Amino acid sequence: MKPRRWPLYTVLAFGYAFLYVPVLLLIVYSFNESRLVTVWTGFSTKWYGELLRNQQLLDAAWLSIRIAATNATFAVVLGTLAANALVRHGRFRGRGGFELLLTAPLVMPDVIIGLSLLLLFVAMQQTIGWPDGRGFTTITIAHLTFSMAYVAVVVRARLAQMDRSLEEAAMDLGARPLTVYLRITLPLIAPALLSGWLLAFTLSLDDLVIASFVSGPGSTTLPMVVYSSVRMGVSPQINALATLIVLFVTVAVIVVTLALRGGGGGRAR
Amino acid sequence: MAAPVPNRPVRDRRLSRIVNVGLPYLWLGLFFLLPLGIVLRISLAEPALAQPPYTALWEWLESGMVTIQLNFGNFMLVWADDLYLVAFLNSLRVALVCTLLCLLLGYPMAYAIATAPERWRLLLLMLIVLPFWTSFLIRVYAWIGILKANGFLNNFLLWLGVIDEPLAILHTQVAVYIGVVYSYLPFMILPLYANLTRLDRSLLEAAADLGCRPWRAFLRVTLPLSRAGIIAGSMLVFIPVVGEFVIPDLLGGPRTLMVGGMLWTEFFSNKDWPLAAALAMVLLGLLVVPFVLMQRWQQRAEARGS
Amino acid sequence: MASAIDRRSLEPWQDPQAEPYVRIERVTKKFGDIYAVDDVSLAIFQGEFFSLLGGSGCGKSTLLRLLAGLESPSAGRIHIDGVDVTDIPPYHRPVNMMFQSYALFPHMNVEQNVEFGLKQERMPRRERAERVAEMLDLLKITELRQRQPDQLSGGQRQRAALARSLAKHPKLLLLDEPLGALDKRLREHTQFELVNLQERIGTTFITVTHDQEEAMTMSTRIAVMDAGQIIQVDTPTGIYEYPNSRFVAEFIGSVNLFEGKVMRRDGDEVLVESPLGRSLQMHCPHPLALGTPVAVAVRPEKIKLCMDFRADAVNQIAGVVEDIAYLGDVSIYHVRVGPEKIVTMTLANIQPRTEQALTWGQEVAMEWSPTSGVVLTD
Ligand SMILES: Nc1ncnc2c1ncn2[C@@H]1O[C@H](COP(=O)(O)OP(=O)(O)OP(=O)(O)O)[C@@H](O)[C@H]1O
Ligand SMILES: [Mg+2]
């Protein structure tokens, strides 16, 4: 006797509606003519025009993108190293502490990370004179600290499911450990590196709280601009921005998924 | 054949360990652990009109002695002032309620996806992950337009004739609940899904074969076996929500104050860094227990998986 | 004595003067508390096709990985071609391995896979291309050179993996269940190919298998392993005809074991009293004390129908046919000879089935000769 599935699917449908209706409304009303976001008066793309003339917002977006890209690149390096350590170095001394340190940033409230890093930067500036002022560098360091943990999770899963005998075979055929890593391991975990990069990129692009703590005057990121605008109340420009972001993300996710499925990255057997 | 170089592999391995373990360790020690120590230090200082706005914790005297001043006043204040206590309790309540709501909504969804036909699964899962990739801030913002007095929800309900007057939802606790569940639902679904797909389907068939009704098989087999997923998902929601700032700030009101907002205000508006640090320390202390719990379960699940 | 010399060159293990090519000296490998390989010593000679045979988890793969350098021993030394390789890492050993899962690199095509090892030793490009072509040709996969591993069938993958592991002309090739992933038909076909290949190129092969038929077909010698230890090393005939223990006798093929005690010694023959009430007289070259508990092992095909059954004769036993398994060429008969004892006998089906003499429930008498079994003490 088969359990009836329609109650399950009802919940599922409700869940997806819950997740997607707000975003859809956001998109639809980005094309609304009226400044009052919730009252439909007619179709218009004028808010997109205004968005693109909003120099402050564009500057902030450019800064955020630069930070996000730098962060993602370094996060992939550090996160991959950490994943190597966890998967390939067995029970090294201090492993428990290592895992703890690597998991904590995943759940640590942003306010604590932000505050603590700011206090660190202030203390460092006082004692060693670096970082001189806060901005691009401090925000990137702060973002790296939690994004590398996310990358480590993604890469670790991929590494753990990789067939060890591939690396052993390479070694058996005369490849030294570094060669094995570069020629065999890295190509095979490349999809995870790519997802890790994208994840770190979006996490950084999305962060308001931590950046607010560790940024200085003159380095305002996109979420900070959006936040101060949102606090003033709803604004059609933000709707337009949201639409662009959703569009960008959807396309990126679809392209990456198809690319990863279509070949190139070898399957772990 | 190359000449035997017996020490090579040992050296290679040590170098590899220094790089792979050492670098991330160093980074996290420097930019994660050390800052927490500094927070502790500053939570024990006094606020001052200076740059930075707190008193030094120790001073070098001419004689080469060090005086250390510890000021527990900040912690006393946090404990004594009702305002802070209420904020902490409220944070815990919001986190608890929202974790339960996420579980109630997320479990059936994760279960439905995990048991859906193979070809649908990837798509359904992608649809869960996709919102996670779009801006968190903007998704919270979307709810302002929905919940406010002349927002979509009220307009819709008025149009239906269910209500005569707009409901005041925005800037209430309910709005915070909605926002939190909305933002954190994927964090609940993903570990649950991972856990449920790994669940051996033949166990359920065995249970059915032994005469177990589907509903009971679920209660006696599936639910206990998915405990690791439930705990992981719950902790991934609970811990960050306790310290959440953006959602209560944008959707909540004056009566829904949470610790995150409190800390923010003390830091940015009142410029009382030591008090903010003390709040952070208390918050951290509250989260240690669930965090350790999560870590334990994760390691146990891993040990069993390998 | 010409024949003796011949035999020695074909069977170097018979020659005390011969220098072993691979020497494993008292090697032990522990994983935590588990002895995966337990005090193993072995000598393997150049050009051998040597098989490690044993049940799952008995340490065959571990022994192979120790030879490849993928594991390092907890104790003991390993010599290959006169060099102590115990501390040499896998990438410097003159040994190559074919993995159980083949371990073909999924992001490289067949040609690149085969070429990988040659690139590592920085062989010049032209020479490398020649070698790759030679290997692909040797294994008849030249037309598959551009395929990715996931576009190959199981048998093709096996050939590609073999080509890759032979490309560097290793002194020793290790094969971990080389045919394990193939279906039965293909496996039988490939067994012969593998032996032909090995004879052609002359490389020393050490394979791992848990399929006894496979080991019997392919090997010059077989080492039977159990729980990390080597129980017996011998030629396939030796292992089959003269097992040294109950374990080996039962592991290879099927066997009838008659438990008993040594009653009398008579030159090379011993008389064994069995609780079934029968005396068994067997050839036994090594001395055994009277009263030693032993088992007499007789293979089912060595048992014949007895035409002149006598109650007091040796090596005769009577019973009732309980079960018949018809396999086409032969039939296997299970004959109950006592309340707890069933004897298995294989008879060739010379007559068509319908005309067979034996049916269920029939009483039969059976016999065997003193030289068609062995006396086991272990
Ligand atoms: N890396 C390891 N860590 C711990 N134990 C191991 C490891 N590798 C092997 N073992 C253990 O050592 C024993 C021998 O394993 P091995 O793989 O050599 O067996 P095998 O004879 O090849 O078996 P199979 O026929 O199943 O392949 C087993 O008990 C196994 O569990
Ligand atoms: Mg094995």
Residue B161 has what pLDDT?
A: 86
What's the pLDDT score for residue B64? Answer: 62
- pLDDT value for C1: 38
Task: Say whether B100 sits in a helix, a strand or coil.
Answer: helix
Q: Which ligand is nearest to the CA of C56?
A: 1
CA-closest candidate to residue A139, choices A60, A58, A204: A204
Range of the domain at C310: 254-376
Amino acid letter for position B209? D
Domain definitions of chain B by residue range: 81-271
Domain endpoint, select from C195, C225, C247: C247
Strands C49-54, C221-226: pairing kind: parallel
Same domain for C347 and C282: yes
Number of DSSP helices (H) and strands (E) in chain A, helices first: 12, 0
What pLDDT, on the 0 to 100 scale, is given for residue B61?
Answer: 62
Instruction: Find the closest chain C residue to A187 by CA distance.
Output: C107
Q: How many CB atoms lie within 10 A of CB C240?
A: 18
Q: What gap in Å lies between CA B294 and CA B297, rounded to an integer?
A: 5
Q: What percent of chain B has pLDDT over 70?
A: 90
Give the C-alpha separation, C94 to C168, whole Å: 9
pLDDT digits (tens, 9 = 90+) for B163-215: 888 888 899 999 999 999 999 999 999 999 988 888 767 777 777 777 777 77
User: What is each CA distance from A105 to A108, A130, A148, A149, A198, in whole angstroms?
Assistant: 5, 24, 9, 7, 18
Q: Is the pLDDT of residue B238 over 60?
A: yes
> Ligand 1 centroid to C24 CA: how many Å?
19
Closest ligand 1 atom to the C-alpha of C62? Answer: 18
Cβ atoms of A230 and B250 within 8 Å: the answer is yes
Residue A267 has pLDDT above 70, yes or no: no
Is residue C107 classed as helix, strand or coil in its secondary structure?
coil
What's the pLDDT band for C329 if we cut at 50, 70, 90?
confident
Which helix or strand (DSSP H or E) is residue C175 part of?
A: strand C172-176
Residue B98: phi, psi to the nearest 5? -70, -35
Rounded Cα distance, B152 and B172, in Å: 17
CATH code, domain carrying C205: 3.40.50.300
Better pLDDT: C351 or B42: B42
What's the mean pLDDT in C248-263? 88
SS3 state of residue C32: coil
Within 8 A by CB and 6+ apart from C186, the residues are: C154, C155, C179
Q: Look at residue B66 in the predicted model and tell me its pLDDT.
A: 62
Residues of C in contact with A168 (CB under 8 A): 70, 90, 99, 103
Confidence class for position B58, pLDDT limits 50, 70, 90 = low
Residue C292 lies in a domain: yes
Query: C156 in a domain, yes or no?
Result: no
Interchain contact A176–C (C-beta under 8 A): yes
Query: Do residue B5 and residue C85 have CB atoms under 8 angstroms apart?
Result: no
Q: State the Cα–Cα distance between residues C204 and C48, nearest whole angstrom.
A: 5
Distance between C217 CA and the closest CA of chain B, angstroms: 33
Task: Report the 10 Å Cβ neighbour count for B248.
Answer: 27
Q: Is the Cβ pair C91, A265 closer than 8 Å?
A: no
d(CA C317, CA C340): 14
The residue of chain B nearest to residue C93, with distances taken between CA atoms, is: B1
> Is the separation of the CB atoms in C315 and C296 below 8 Å?
no
Instruction: Give the mean pLDDT of C101-127.
Output: 94
Residue C45 located in a structural domain: yes
Interface test with A, best of B34, B109, B259 (most A CBs within 10 A): B109
Q: Across the interface, do A174 and C68 touch by the CB < 8 Å criterion?
A: no
Q: Is C228 helix (H, G, I), strand (E, B) or coil?
A: coil
Tell me which of C209, C226, C247 is where a domain ends: C247
CA nearest to A248 within chain B: B134
Highest mean pLDDT of the ranges A62-76, A187-201, B265-279, C335-349: A62-76
Query: What pLDDT, on a 0 to 100 scale, did the predictor assign at position C74?
Result: 93
The β-bridge relationship of strands C330-338 and C304-305 is: unpaired
Q: What is the rounded CA–CA span in Å between residue A93 and residue A91? A: 6
Domains of chain A: residue spans and CATH: 52-268 (1.10.3720.10)
Top mutation candidate among C58, C72, C209 for ligand 1, by most atoms within 8 Å of CB: C58
Confidence band for B59, pLDDT divided at 50, 70 and 90: low
**What is the number of helices (H) and of strands (E) in chain C?**
9, 20
Q: Return the pLDDT at A59.
A: 94
pLDDT of residue B124 exceeding 80, the answer is yes
Q: Which backbone phi and psi does C121 adopt, to 5 degrees?
A: -95, 15
Tell how far the Cα of B128 is from the centroid of ligand 1, in angstroms: 41
Separation of alpha carbons A19 and B179, rounded Å: 11
Residue C121 lies in a domain: no
Q: CA B36 to CA A212: how far, in whole Å?
A: 18
Going across the sheet that includes C373-376, the strands are: C279-283, C269-273, C256-266, C293-298, C373-376
Residues of chain C with Cβ-Cβ distance to A169 below 8 Å are 97, 99, 103, 105, 164
Examine the domain organization and report whether C225 and C332 are in the same domain: no
Phi, psi torsion values for C305, nearest 5 degrees: -75, 145
How far, in Å, is the centroid of ligand 2 from the Cα of C61?
A: 4
CA of C54 to the centre of ligand 2 (A): 10
What was the pLDDT predicted at B305?
Answer: 58
- List the single range of A203-207, B150-154, B298-302, C4-8 with lowest mean pLDDT: C4-8
pLDDT score, position B62? 64
Residue C353's pLDDT is 62
Task: Give the residue, C200 or B77, on which the prediction is more confident.
Answer: C200
| Total count of residues recorded for chain C | 378
In a domain, C115, yes or no: no
Give every CB contact of residue B87 below 8 A, 6+ residues apart in sequence: B257, B258, B259, B261, B262
User: C87 and B6 in contact by Cβ < 8 A?
Assistant: yes
For residue C72, report the distance from its CA to the centre of ligand 1, in Å. 14
Query: Do C198 and C323 reside in the same domain of the chain?
Result: no
Task: Please report, rounded to a whole number, the percentage of residues in chain C having pLDDT higher than 70.
Answer: 96
C225 and C260 share one domain: no
Does residue A1 have a pLDDT over 50? no
| Nearest atom of ligand 1 to the alpha carbon of C58 | 21
Selecting from A166, A187, A267 the residue whose C-beta is nearest the C-beta of C103 gives A166
Interface A–C counts its CB contacts (< 8 A) at 68
Task: Supply the DSSP symbol for A15.
Answer: H
State the pLDDT at residue C184: 83
Residue C173 makes CB contacts below 8 A (sequence gap 6+) with: C95, C96, C97, C98, C165, C166, C203, C204, C205, C206
Half-sphere exposure of A180 (CA within 13 A, CB side): 18
Query: CB within 6 Å of ligand 1 — which residues?
Result: C 31, 34, 36, 54, 56-62, 210
Task: Report d(CA C187, CA B144) in Å as an integer.
Answer: 68
Tokens of C291: 């009263």
**pLDDT exceeds 80 at position B114:** yes
Chain segment C138-188, per-residue pLDDT in tens: 999 999 999 999 999 989 999 999 999 999 999 899 999 998 878 888 888
Q: Is position C120 within any domain?
A: no
Tally of domains in chain C: 2
Closest Cα of chain B to A266: distance in Å?
19
Which structure tokens are listed for C152?
A: 């190959």
Higher-pLDDT residue of C247, C308: C247
Which residue blocks in chain B are alpha helix, DSSP H?
Answer: 7-17, 23-28, 34-43, 73-80, 82-114, 118-133, 136-147, 152-160, 173-198, 201-209, 214-217, 223-225, 227-242, 246-251, 259-264, 273-305
Residue C6 has pLDDT above 50, yes or no: no
> Which ligand 1 atom is nearest residue C65's CA?
18
Mean pLDDT computed over C5-17: 68
One domain, residues C187 and C60: yes
CB–CB of C168 and A174 under 8 A?
Answer: yes
Q: What is the pLDDT of residue A73?
A: 97
Residue nearest to atom 4 of ligand 1 (CA): C31
- Which of C194, C214, C247 is a domain's end point? C247
| Shortest CA distance from A104: residue in chain B | B291
Give residue C4's pLDDT band: very low, low, confident or very high (50, 70, 90): very low
- Are C291 and C363 found together in one domain? yes
The answer to whether residue C104 is domain-embedded is no
Nearest CA to ligand 1 atom 22: C61
The arithmetic mean of pLDDT across residues B93-103, rounded, is 96
d(CA C28, ligand 1 centre) in Å: 13
Q: Which chains touch B (3 or more CB pairs under 8 A)?
A: A, C
Task: Check residue C236 and give its pLDDT.
Answer: 92
Task: Output the pLDDT for position A263.
Answer: 45
In the β-sheet with C204-209, what is the strand arrangement from edge to edge? C95-98, C172-176, C204-209, C49-54, C221-226, C229-234
Asked if residue C5 has pLDDT above 80, the reply is: no
Regarding whether C303 and C217 lie in a shared domain, the answer is no
Question: Are the beta carbons of A236 and A35 closer than 8 angstroms?
Answer: yes
pLDDT at residue C67 is higher than 90: yes
Q: What pLDDT score was predicted for residue C90?
A: 92
Using 50, 70 and 90 to split pLDDT, how confident is the model at C356?
Answer: low
> Is pLDDT at C10 greater than 80 in this prediction?
no
Task: Kindly report the nearest CA distance between residue C86 and chain B, in angstroms.
Answer: 9
CB contact under 8 A, B138 and A242: yes
Residues C210 and C277 in one domain: no
C99 in any annotated domain: no
Q: What is the mean pLDDT of chain C?
A: 88
Task: Determine the average pLDDT of the residues in B244-257.
Answer: 90
Contact B139, B147 (CB under 8 A): no
Q: How far is the CA of C63 from the centre of ligand 2 (A)?
A: 9
C336: β partners? C320, C342
The pLDDT tens digits of the residues spanning C270-322 come to: 888 887 777 888 888 878 888 888 888 999 999 888 877 777 778 888 888 88
Of A133, A82, A127, residue with least CA distance to A105: A82
- Work out which ligand 1 atom sits closest to the CA atom of C71: 1
Closest Cα to residue C378, out of C281, C251, C222?
C251
Min Cα separation C106/chain A (Å):
5
The reply to whether C177 and C239 lie within a common domain is yes
- Contact residues on chain C for A172, CB-CB shorter than 8 A: 68-70, 90-91, 95-97, 165
CA-based nearest distance A46→chain B, Å: 19
3-state secondary structure of C14: helix
Instruction: State percent of chain A over pLDDT 90.
Output: 59
Higher pLDDT, A258 or C227: C227
Strands C95-98 and C172-176 come out as: parallel
Atom 14 (ligand 1) nearest CA: C59
Same domain, C211 and C230: yes
Say yes or no: A20 contacts chain B, CB-CB below 8 A: yes
pLDDT grade, residue A132 (50/70/90)? confident
- Flag if B8 and C89 touch (Cβ within 8 Å): yes
| pLDDT above 80 for B236 | yes
Mean pLDDT of B263-271: 91
Residue keyed to tokens 């993108």: A65
Q: How much distance in Å is there from the Cα of B1 to the middle of ligand 1?
A: 30
Helix (H, G, I), strand (E, B) or coil at C319: strand
CA dist C222 and C58 (Å) reads: 15
Bridge pairing between strands C34-44 and B58-60: unpaired
Between positions 89 and 108 of A, the ones with CB within 8 A of B are: 89, 92, 94, 98-108
**Rounded percentage of chain C residues whose pLDDT exceeds 90:** 47
Question: Do residues A52 and A45 touch, judged by C-beta distance below 8 A?
Answer: no
- What is the fold of B81-271? MetI-like fold (1.10.3720)
